[in-house]
């Protein structure tokens, strides 16, 4: 089977073809006619914290109530709707199904409704670059991974010019609503745009959808961000394979860095799935105030003890955000962020790494300078790479696994010299990130995303703005899922970004009192010494539900399951 894309024919695989035939499962409320869905409203809401600052910044959209869809006759005339959609930030499996759900909902409402996809993320809206998404286009992307239907991007909408240009595009296309599919930063964009459009009285509604493989856009009403399920299962398959290889050859320690810019949800879930010897949880490192050398000590301890049993191999999972949670490195990074934002032009004018280092001597605090100079040059260079448009350091580009390999090797060498270690240490580094972000969505993500697309449509049809789609009760069969939406401001607090205090969605980090972390904590002493690897195998798309429809262990434990 072939389809035409950008002037060439693309041959598709048998699985790809088979996935077109998959019919995503929907919550019961969405199964009948679109005229049989009403919205039920709860009580007023508050921001996570900084209530006064957030309410002052979102004068028109702050404090609204959560909503839930319930059965009932909707007497509204089903006028045609023009809706725009943006895929924003990092790819996450299932994004195409959000668009498919939104498209199908819109067409069921009124077949003359139109869906426009903005190209390359929020910049497509600003620059007025779009395609109309018709049945032919959407059908080619159902149940497939990636964001290639319209592309994605990380542009932050923040200047008056960008807001005005967005409004210009919305007016030109006579949009009734805009759906932004993204993570915390992108949904912050959605809340800001919603407020701006209300202020301008243009009537364009803005709805967000919770996406991110990182799993840190989480709340009572947002039980999971989409893409986490598929991505972490994809990584777990690879980790299981590496672990089995390690247990066969018995000669390498594998240091595996896993995506997850801040929160360690991915590493924690992968640890529960595969049982490595060590898995660092950044949130715990920060809570205990562990230094870089204490982290390395933990690794050396396991290496030495396993060597005493002749097990000169193992697997270590490292969340990519770890460096930002080790107090002294966090301090260094925040000083660098501050300096790079404040002296932007000067910093960008310096051409070589050596000149940057010399320049930083006068700007960094003594402690941070000593630490910066102690890093291997490659790592120090990576710490100076561009921040993303939201002011975040790009941790996916910092080779933390190599840093830990280097420091472990150094320490073990000195232990060998002093007679405290007699094993053989050979380490191999891996980074699992992009491999999982565009995988074919698991059945869970395919169903969840399609349901989120439907919820986004019903939020629009209910006349709401500044809301994020919510689908809950996710451990039950899809027919029992509960759909609705919550105001985005309910997820917000004020944070320091690019040198300024800004309203942003608060990231949901790993809860050290939560069931998933506790489940891991009870296992880890044994895992460090013994070889207890589990091999989860690949995501299964066709077969019995207990293999194909299983949620993540994290979600099950958070819902009181085992």
Mind telling me the catalytic residues? Answer: 214
Distance of CA 82 to the CA centre of its chain: 28
Residue 400 CB, nearest approach to ligand FBP (Å): 12
CA dihedral over 433, 374, 404, 427, signed as positive or negative: positive
Residue 38 CB, nearest approach to ligand FBP (Å): 33
Distance CA 114, CA 131 (A): 11
453 near 100, Cβ under 8 Å?
yes
For residues 69 and 255, which CB has a smaller minimum distance to ligand FBP in the complex? Answer: 255
**Contact characters 336-375, ligand FBP, x per CB under 6 A:** ----------------------------------------
- By CB under 6 A, name the one of 105, 117, 146, 183 that touches ligand FBP: 183
Site for ligand FBP contains 259 (CB under 6 A): yes
For residues 66 and 153, which CB has a smaller minimum distance to ligand FBP in the complex? Answer: 153
CB atoms within 10 A of CB 361: 10
- By CB under 6 A, name the one of 19, 96, 142, 261 that touches ligand FBP: 261
| Residue closest to 441 by CA, chosen among 282, 287, 264, 230 | 230
522 near 515, Cβ under 8 Å?
no
336 near 323, Cβ under 8 Å?
no
404 near 376, Cβ under 8 Å?
no
Interacting positions 457-486 with ligand FBP (CB under 6 A): none
| Residue closest to 261 by CA, chosen among 214, 207, 308 | 214
Q: Which helix (H) or strand (E) holds 39?
A: strand 37-41
Interacting positions 420-459 with ligand FBP (CB under 6 A): 437
- Interface with ligand FBP: number of residues (CB under 6 A): 14
For residue 49, CA distances in Å to 75, 185, 467 come to: 38, 17, 18
Residue 62 CB, nearest approach to ligand FBP (Å): 24
**Contact characters 128-167, ligand FBP, x per CB under 6 A:** ----------------------------------------
CB atoms within 10 A of CB 242: 20
Residue 217 CB, nearest approach to ligand FBP (Å): 8
| Number of Cα atoms under 13 Å in the Cβ half of residue 197 | 26
For residue 403, CA distances in Å to 299, 304, 320, 336, 546 come to: 13, 19, 12, 19, 40
For residue 422, CA distances in Å to 34, 295, 525 come to: 70, 21, 22
For residues 114 and 261, which CB has a smaller minimum distance to ligand FBP in the complex? Answer: 261
Distance CA 193, CA 187 (A): 10
For residue 457 the two structure tokens come to 């449509």
3 state SS of 209: strand
For residues 69 and 325, which CB has a smaller minimum distance to ligand FBP in the complex? Answer: 325
For residues 48 and 523, which CB has a smaller minimum distance to ligand FBP in the complex? Answer: 48
Site for ligand FBP contains 260 (CB under 6 A): yes
Distance CA 474, CA 508 (A): 18
CA angle 185, 471, 57 (to 5 degrees): 35
Residue 213 CB, nearest approach to ligand FBP (Å): 5
Could you give phi then psi for residue 219, rounded to 5 degrees? -170, 170
- By CB under 6 A, name the one of 395, 459, 468, 528 that touches ligand FBP: 395
SS (H, E, C) 87-112: EECCCCCCHHHHHHHHHHHHHHHCCC
Q: Where does this chain touch ligand FBP (CB under 6 A) — which range of 140-148, 211-219, 271-279, 298-306?
A: 211-219
Residue 536 CB, nearest approach to ligand FBP (Å): 20
- By CB under 6 A, name the one of 212, 368, 408, 551 that touches ligand FBP: 212
Residue 216 CB, nearest approach to ligand FBP (Å): 8
Site for ligand FBP contains 317 (CB under 6 A): no
Q: Where does this chain touch ligand FBP (CB under 6 A) — which range of 27-35, 96-104, 197-205, 256-264?
A: 256-264
Q: Where does this chain touch ligand FBP (CB under 6 A) — which range of 253-261, 421-429, 446-454, 472-480?
A: 253-261
For residues 88 and 408, which CB has a smaller minimum distance to ligand FBP in the complex? Answer: 88
| Residue closest to 113 by CA, chosen among 170, 23, 167, 175 | 175
The interaxial angle of helices 228-249 and 443-461, nearest 10 deg, is 160
Residue 185 CB, nearest approach to ligand FBP (Å): 7
For residues 393 and 472, which CB has a smaller minimum distance to ligand FBP in the complex? Answer: 393
CB atoms within 10 A of CB 119: 20
For residues 104 and 185, which CB has a smaller minimum distance to ligand FBP in the complex? Answer: 185
For residues 68 and 261, which CB has a smaller minimum distance to ligand FBP in the complex? Answer: 261
Site for ligand FBP contains 214 (CB under 6 A): yes
Relative to beta strand 492-497, strand 278-279 is: unpaired
**Contact characters 74-113, ligand FBP, x per CB under 6 A:** ---------------xx-x---------------------
Residue 92 CB, nearest approach to ligand FBP (Å): 6
For residues 340 and 364, which CB has a smaller minimum distance to ligand FBP in the complex? Answer: 340
Residue 298 CB, nearest approach to ligand FBP (Å): 24
**Contact characters 290-309, ligand FBP, x per CB under 6 A:** --------------------
Distance CA 503, CA 496 (A): 9
Enumerate binding residues for ligand FBP (CB under 6 A): 89-90, 92, 183, 212-214, 259-261, 320, 395-396, 437
């Amino acid at each position: 089977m072939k389809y035409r894309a950008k002037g060439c024919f693309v041959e598709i695989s048998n699985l790809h073809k088979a996935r077109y035939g998959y019919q995503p499962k929907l919550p019961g409320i969405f199964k009948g006619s679109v005229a049989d869905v009403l919205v039920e409203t709860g009580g007023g809401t508050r921001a996570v914290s900084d209530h006064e600052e957030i309410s002052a910044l979102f004068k028109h959209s702050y404090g609204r109530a959560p909503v839930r869809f319930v059965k009932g006759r909707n007497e509204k005339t089903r006028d045609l709707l023009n809706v725009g959609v943006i895929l924003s930030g990092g790819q996450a499996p299932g994004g195409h199904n959000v668009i498919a759900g939104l498209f199908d909902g819109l067409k069921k409402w009124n077949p003359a409704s139109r869906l426009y996809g903005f190209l390359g993320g929020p910049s497509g809206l600003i620059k007025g670059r779009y395609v109309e998404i018709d049945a032919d286009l959407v059908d080619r992307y159902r149940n497939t991974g990636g964001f290639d239907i319209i592309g994605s991007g990380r542009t932050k909408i923040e200047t008056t010019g960008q807001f005005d240009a967005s409004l210009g595009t919305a007016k030109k296309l006579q949009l009734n609503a805009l759906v932004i599919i993204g993570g915390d930063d992108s949904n912050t964009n959605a809340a800001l745009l919603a407020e701006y459009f209300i202020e301008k009285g243009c009537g364009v509604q803005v709805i967000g959808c919770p996406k991110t493989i990182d799993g840190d856009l989480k709340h009572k009403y947002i039980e999971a961000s989409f893409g986490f399920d598929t991505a972490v299962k994809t990584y777990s398959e690879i980790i299981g394979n590496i672990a089995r290889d390690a247990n066969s050859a018995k000669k390498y320690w594998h240091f595996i860095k896993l995506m997850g810019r801040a929160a360690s949800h991915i590493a924690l879930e992968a640890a529960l799935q595969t049982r490595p010897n060590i898995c660092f949880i950044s949130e715990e490192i920060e809570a205990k105030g562990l230094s870089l050398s204490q982290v390395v000590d933990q690794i050396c301890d396991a290496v030495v003890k396993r060597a005493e049993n002749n097990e000169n191999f193992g697997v270590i999972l490292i969340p990519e955000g770890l460096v930002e949670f080790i107090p002294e490195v966090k301090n260094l990074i925040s000083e660098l962020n501050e300096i790079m934002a404040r002296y932007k032009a000067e910093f960008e004018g310096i051409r070589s790494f050596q000149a940057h280092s010399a320049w930083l001597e006068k700007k960094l605090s003594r402690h941070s300078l000593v630490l910066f100079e102690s890093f291997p040059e490659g790592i120090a260079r990576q710490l100076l790479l561009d921040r993303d448009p939201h002011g975040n350091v790009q941790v996916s580009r910092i080779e933390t696994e190599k840093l830990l390999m280097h420091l472990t090797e150094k320490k073990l060498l000195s232990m060998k010299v002093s007679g405290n270690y007699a094993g053989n240490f050979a380490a191999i580094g891996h980074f699992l990130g992009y491999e999982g972000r565009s995988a074919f969505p698991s059945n869970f993500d395919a169903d969840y995303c399609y349901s989120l697309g439907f919820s986004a449509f019903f939020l629009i049809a209910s006349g709401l703005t500044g809301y994020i789609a919510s689908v809950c009760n996710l451990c039950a069969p899809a027919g029992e899922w509960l759909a609705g939406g919550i105001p985005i401001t309910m997820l917000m607090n004020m944070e320091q970004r690019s040198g300024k205090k800004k309203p942003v969605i608060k990231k949901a980090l790993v809860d050290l009192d939560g069931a998933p972390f506790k489940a891991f904590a009870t296992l880890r002493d044994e895992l460090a010494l013994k070889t207890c690897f589990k091999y989860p195998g690949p995501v299964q798309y066709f077969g019995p539900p207990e293999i194909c429809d299983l949620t993540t262990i994290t979600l099950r434990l958070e819902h009181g399951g085992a």
